[in-house]
Chain A
Amino acid sequence: MGFFVETLIGGLMAGMLYSLVALGFVLIFKASGVFNFAQGAMVLFAALAMARFSEWANIALGGDSLFLANLIAFLGAGVVMFIVAWIIERLVLRNLVNQEGATLLMATLGIAYVLEGVGQTIFGGQIYTIDVGMPKDPVIMFESLFEGGIMINKEDFIAALIAAVLVGVLTLFFQKTPTGRALRAVADDHQAAQSIGIPLNRTWVIVWCVAGIVALVAGIIWGSKLGVQFSLATVALRALPVVILGGLTSVPGAIIGGLIIGVGEKLSEVYLGPYVGGGIEIWFAYALALVFLLFRPQGLFGEKIINRV
Chain B
Amino acid sequence: MKFRSLALAAAIASVGLSAAVVSPSAHAQAKEQFFPVLVYRTGAYGPNGTPWANGYVDYLKLVNAKGGINGVKISFEECEFAYATDRGVECYERLKGKGATVFQPLSTGVTFALTEKAPVDKIPLVTAGYGRSESQNGAVFDWNFPLLGTYWVGADVAIQHLGKQYGGLDKLKGKKIALVYHDSPYGKEPIPLLQERAKMHGFTLQLLPVAHPGVEQKATWLQIRRERPDNVLLWGWGVMNSTSLKEAQATGYPREKMLGIWWAGAEPDVKDVGMGAKGYSAITLQHGAEPNSKVVKDMLAMVHAKGQGTGPKDEVGSVLYMRGLISAMVAVEGVRKAQERYGKGKVMTGEQTRWGLENLNLDDKALADLGFAGVLRPIQTSCTDHMGSPWARIHTWDGAKWNFSSDWYQADQKVLRPMVMSASTRYAEEKKITPRTPEQCKQ
Asked if B252 and A225 make an inter-chain contact with CB atoms under 8 angstroms apart, the answer reads no
Interface of A is mostly: helix
A14 to B220, CA, bound (A): 13
Given A155-B250, A269-B219, A127 contacting B47 (CB threshold 8 A): yes
Q: Mark interface residues in A144-157 (1 if CB within 8 Å of B CB, else 0).
A: 00000001010110
Task: Name the one of A128, A138, A226, A282 contacting B211, with C-beta atoms under 8 angstroms.
Answer: A282
Task: Name the one of A7, A136, A278, A282 contacting B208, with C-beta atoms under 8 angstroms.
Answer: A278
Asked if A127 and B211 make an inter-chain contact with CB atoms under 8 angstroms apart, the answer reads no
Asked if B213 and A231 make an inter-chain contact with CB atoms under 8 angstroms apart, the answer reads yes
Asked if A279 and B210 make an inter-chain contact with CB atoms under 8 angstroms apart, the answer reads yes
**Top 3 A-B residue pairs of the complex, sorted by shortest distance between their CB atoms:** A269-B219, A279-B209, A227-B272
Asked if B46 and A125 make an inter-chain contact with CB atoms under 8 angstroms apart, the answer reads yes
Given A3-B226, A151-B251, A278-B209, A238 contacting B47 (CB threshold 8 A): no
Assign chain B's interface to a size class: 35 or more
Asked if A227 and B242 make an inter-chain contact with CB atoms under 8 angstroms apart, the answer reads yes
Asked if B246 and A136 make an inter-chain contact with CB atoms under 8 angstroms apart, the answer reads yes
A: residues with CB less than 8 A from B are: 3, 6-7, 10-11, 14, 120, 125-129, 136-138, 151, 153, 155-156, 225-227, 229-231, 234-235, 238, 265-266, 269-270, 273, 277-279, 281-282
5 CB contacts below 8 A, A to B, read: A226-B215, A226-B243, A266-B218, A269-B219, A281-B219
A238 to B211, CA, bound (A): 12
- Which residues of chain A are within 8 angstroms of B215 by Cβ–Cβ distance? 226, 231, 234-235, 238
A27 to B44, CA, bound (A): 27
Residue of B nearest to A9 (CB): B222
- Which residues of chain A are within 8 angstroms of B249 by Cβ–Cβ distance? 136-137
Asked if A266 and B252 make an inter-chain contact with CB atoms under 8 angstroms apart, the answer reads no
Asked if A279 and B183 make an inter-chain contact with CB atoms under 8 angstroms apart, the answer reads yes
* Smallest beta-carbon distance A72→chain B, Å: 22
Asked if A127 and B268 make an inter-chain contact with CB atoms under 8 angstroms apart, the answer reads yes
Asked if A138 and B252 make an inter-chain contact with CB atoms under 8 angstroms apart, the answer reads yes
* Smallest beta-carbon distance A231→chain B, Å: 4
- Which residues of chain A are within 8 angstroms of B219 by Cβ–Cβ distance? 7, 10, 265-266, 269-270, 273, 281
A235 to B216, CA, bound (A): 9
Asked if B218 and A14 make an inter-chain contact with CB atoms under 8 angstroms apart, the answer reads yes
Asked if A127 and B250 make an inter-chain contact with CB atoms under 8 angstroms apart, the answer reads no
The residue in B42, B44, B183, B250 that gathers the most chain A C-beta atoms within 10 A of its C-beta is B250
Given A125-B46, A229-B47, A230-B44, A281 contacting B250 (CB threshold 8 A): no
A138 to B226, CA, bound (A): 15
* Smallest beta-carbon distance A270→chain B, Å: 5
A151 to B228, CA, bound (A): 14
A129 to B276, CA, bound (A): 13
- Which residues of chain B are within 8 angstroms of A10 by Cβ–Cβ distance? 218-219, 222
Asked if B251 and A138 make an inter-chain contact with CB atoms under 8 angstroms apart, the answer reads yes
A273 to B219, CA, bound (A): 10
Residue of A nearest to B43 (CB): A230
* Smallest beta-carbon distance B316→chain A, Å: 15
In residues 238-273 of chain B, which contact A (Cβ within 8 Å)? 238-239, 242-243, 246, 249-252, 268, 271-272
* Smallest beta-carbon distance A196→chain B, Å: 41
A277 to B210, CA, bound (A): 11
